Amino acid sequence: MTESEFKSYYPQFAGFTPAFVLSSCIAQANARFSAFTAEDAEEARRLYAAHKLTLYARTALPDEIAATKAQIAAAGQPQRITGKKAGEVSVTYAAGASSASSAASTVLADLPETTFGLQLLSLIRLYSRSVYIP
């Protein structure tokens, strides 16, 4: 996957991050998912790069965050339900809480932090055998 292919698929990421961060995320993505079929590997690489860039947008220094970065960070944040009640229907959402367990692989541990990562996890689960992602 090239930077231009990634930007054409996810135009919301174009121009919001330094070029070296974008190229680094794409390089990391391209080095993974070799056990997937070509079509699934392409999708997995896009999702992985988008996930990493979303995490970057969330952790950028406050004075660096433009409106676009804040929108990307907010859009990539899944809402986890931390509490629910049956009578008088009550739902409580976690604010920035992580559901990643410490026993999980450090590479996969942060995937539940973004919607892109959650989509990637569901793609990984499609494969019946265990997939190692270095």
Cα 108 to the center of its chain, rounded Å = 10
Report the alpha-carbon angle 90-109-130, nearest 5.
110
Rounded (to 5) percent helix, strand, coil in the chain: 50, 5, 40
Q: Is residue 131 part of a domain?
A: no
Q: Is residue 133 part of a domain?
A: no
Q: Is residue 130 part of a domain?
A: no
pLDDT tens per residue across span 80-105: 555 666 566 665 655 544 443 333 35
The one-letter amino acid code at 134 reads P
Q: Is residue 63 part of a domain?
A: yes
Q: What is the pTM of this model?
A: 0.65
Q: Is residue 41 part of a domain?
A: yes
How many domains does the chain fold into?
1
* Average pLDDT, consecutive stretches of 10 residues, N- to C-terminus, the chain (134 residues): 92 82 92 88 94 84 53 55 62 49 54 88 75 58
Q: Is residue 33 part of a domain?
A: yes
Q: Which domain holds residue 11?
A: 3-125
Q: Find the helix or strand (DSSP H, E) in which 84 lies.
A: strand 81-85
